[in-house]
Chains A and B, each alone.
Chain A
Amino acid sequence: MYKSLIRATAAASAAALLATSAWASDLVVTFDDLNPAPKKAFEDAVEAFKKANPDINVTVNITDREAHKSSIRNALLNDAPDVITWYPGNRMGPFVDAGLFMDISDMWASDPNLSSKFNAIKATMTRDGKQWGVPYSYYQWGVYYRKDIFDKLGLAEPKTWDEMLGACDKLTEAGVTPFTIGTKYLWTAAGVFDYLNLRTNGYDVHNDLTAGKIKYTDPRIRKTFDNWKVMLERCSPVKNHATMSWQDAIAPFANGDAAMYVMGNFSVAGYKDAGLTEDQIDFFQFPEITPGLARAEEAPADAFFIASKAKNVENAKKFMAFIAQPDIQGEWNKAIGQLPPNSDAAINKDDKFIVEGMATLSTASGLAQFYDRDAPAAMAKAGMEGFQKFMLDPSTLDEVLANLDKVQSEVY
């Protein structure tokens, strides 16, 4: 009743209005990072797009990243922009399944950049055999460490599991806690788990686990936890990690009380803010555990999607193709200190972390998004709580794994 009344009365007035808006060529883009650097990089890219397409009138909405996580639900229904940022992997699943994102497989097949320069990341943009978005940035994970402490103790970057455990023993002896971590918000623990799992079992097991095809009590996953247990014993994390955020955990690292940190590249700014200089910190790839296993890495990406309700689909596709270009991706990621997914894009050679990151990711056999992006949210939440519980008390392992199996059977 209510709706039909609105429609009846609105229809009359709408007819006149449509005439005015029909010939303007518009594009509405929603972006989700208000931090100065990412915001500017995005705006610069939009400016470049405007210059290339002077006939398109671009409107930009920039929202807070956390707020975006819930407001996107409405945005896609009521206020649909043409292009919107979101995460690939399982995080895009619900919107893809509800038909709120547009299938752009045709672009991935025909666009010169998308069809050949994004091979490493194509899998994470794919669901149901179709591609749904265009990634504009990603970054590496790995071990950040205090080079000055390592030098003082005569330690080299460990390449293998045994070397790392040996380094940990030496650090502990010298009164330094090997690892810092803050697990209050859980996801940091997932980073460690993912790496142990990728190095113990490889990329396929990671994907099968997060896709719900392997149980947590599977012997392979148990092996991962066995390694983690060894790591907790010999490479002990800082105390009180359960009350610290990832930023809080920088403090012991900066003070020299802890020497290593399994983290993403965005954390480099945090180390520098805490007073560490480029000489004091460095990066190494998480060492090999199972010898000979193909090396896969964590590389969470950010991407643009077209809303199914987009009003200007042609312009939206133009924008997507535009941001897939190597020069745009290069400029953008230089500005935010991350890596361009387009393999032809130039990177910032002066940033040693970016150079190492590029080397790490471009030679990786597979790229994982991250446990909490690859697994459905409800599973990820339970999983990460389990990881934290295990970290605080490894003897609860059986209980944790049994519970995760149960959650898994309910979520998928």
Chain B
Amino acid sequence: MFPAPIEKSSAATQTAYKVALPIALLIWLLPLIAIFLTSIRPASDINTGNVFGIPSEFNLIENYSTVFAQTDAWNYMLNTLIITLPTMVVAVALACLTGYALAIYRFKSALPIFFIFVAGNFVPFQILMLPVIDLSNRLEIYNTVPGLVMFHAAFQTGFCTLFMRNFMKALPFELIESARIEGVGEFRIFWHLVLPLVRPAIAALAVLIFTFIWNDFFWATVMIQDDASLPITVGVRSLNGEFVQQWQLVSAASLLAAVPPVIMFFLMQKHFIAGLTLGATKG
């Protein structure tokens, strides 16, 4: 293990380390802590510049309920959810199929096609923006939730395929070979043999896509104009304009927007990190 385990060093070093840990964390999360404190303050504290002090009143419930009462925050959250979940399902499902095709079958175009997915996954959004708007217009789904979901699902298929294909590549190929010799159909092999084996990958992808799409801002800005269909990221930003100089409410709304992905992360931490660090350990 590197660096050398701290247990092997002197007692003083050990204590110093244990003291340093919380302090480092405090500094690291300082902006977050400060914004949380702000979100439970009354407006008067903000005007008098009370940032770190004890709030003169604890307005946790007032501030957060104001956000829900005075704005469409609840609606925005719901919109995000109905954008996020279908995207997650479609992208992961399609990637299981494409990943399977690219990992299990040996055909000449497998690698070029795989590279198309990988390359597409990295392109800047701006190069896609205007044609995607135009396409959505022609399909008459511009400025609708399904319009946004279609794009997200298509785009995320790229990343999911990269992930799935690499994961499936590591499966024992002999298993599939022997099933084929038994005369099991290609789709049965996929459904009954491979899918159960890639469950961890599906879980990892599901959490990752959930977080990506939940946090998406660009495409929501570009593809949705209707206030009634806006997701929370865009909603929160427009709240910033609405709550003029009411930082306690802006902070509360911002923190609310961050809650679901955070919960998702803490619940599914193992899968989440497995997904993000794919490729960080092997060549």
Residues of A within 8 A of B (CB): 34, 63-64, 66-68, 70-71, 74, 77-78, 245, 247-248, 250-251
Contact = CB atoms under 8 A, between A and B. Distances in A.
Contacts of B143: 71, 74
A247 B244 contact: yes
Nearest to B140: A78
A68 B142 CA distance: 14
Interface string B67-91: 0000000000000000000000000
Contacts of A64: 225-227
A78 B244 contact: no
B244 A74 contact: no
B241 interface: yes
A245 B238 CA distance: 13
B208 to A, nearest CB: 31
Interface in B218-272: 225-227, 241, 244-245
B245 A251 contact: yes
B241 A67 contact: no
Contacts of B44: none
A67 B137 contact: no
Given A34-B227, A78-B140, 17 more contacts: A63-B226, A64-B225, A64-B227, A66-B225, A67-B225, A67-B226, A67-B227, A70-B225, A71-B226, A74-B137, A74-B142, A78-B137, A247-B241, A247-B244, A248-B244, A248-B245, A251-B245
A162 B129 CA distance: 52
Contacts of B226: 63-64, 67, 71
Nearest to B143: A71
B47 to A, nearest CB: 9
A251 B142 CA distance: 39
A42 B122 CA distance: 47
Contacts of A250: 244
Contacts of B227: 34, 64, 67
Identify whether the interface residues of A are mostly helix, strand, loop, or mixed.
helix
Contacts of A68: 225
Nearest to B226: A67
Q: Is the interface of B mostly helix, strand, loop or mixed?
A: loop
A60 B143 CA distance: 19
A282 B24 CA distance: 53
A71 B229 CA distance: 13
A250 B245 CA distance: 10
Interface string B123-149: 000000000000001001011000000
Contacts of A78: 137, 140
Nearest to A63: B226
Contacts of B140: 78
A77 B134 CA distance: 12
Contacts of B142: 74
A245 B244 contact: yes
Contacts of A71: 143, 225-226
Contacts of A77: 137
Nearest to B242: A247
Contacts of A34: 227
Contacts of B244: 245, 247-248, 250
A77 B143 CA distance: 14
Nearest to B225: A67
Nearest to B238: A66
Contacts of A248: 244-245
Nearest to B228: A64
**What 4 pairs across the A-B complex have the smallest Cβ distances?**
A67-B225, A247-B244, A64-B227, A71-B225
Contacts of B137: 74, 77-78
B75 to A, nearest CB: 13
A245 B245 CA distance: 10
15 contacts: A63-B226, A64-B225, A67-B225, A67-B226, A67-B227, A68-B225, A70-B225, A71-B225, A74-B142, A74-B143, A78-B137, A245-B241, A247-B245, A248-B244, A250-B244
A5 to B, nearest CB: 15
Nearest to B244: A247
Q: Which residue, of B140, B142, B143, B244, has the highest number of chain A Cβ atoms within 10 A?
A: B244
A273 to B, nearest CB: 9
Nearest to A73: B137
A250 B226 CA distance: 29
A69 to B, nearest CB: 8
B152 to A, nearest CB: 20
Nearest to A69: B225
Contacts of A70: 225
Nearest to B222: A70
A193 B210 CA distance: 47
A63 B227 CA distance: 8
A405 B140 CA distance: 40
B24 to A, nearest CB: 31
Nearest to A3: B138
B227 to A, nearest CB: 5
A33 to B, nearest CB: 12
A68 B227 CA distance: 10
A66 B143 CA distance: 13
A6 B43 CA distance: 59
A238 B198 CA distance: 61
A117 B66 CA distance: 47
A245 B227 CA distance: 21
Nearest to A246: B244
A71 B143 CA distance: 8
Contacts of A251: 245
A78 B241 CA distance: 31
A68 B226 CA distance: 8
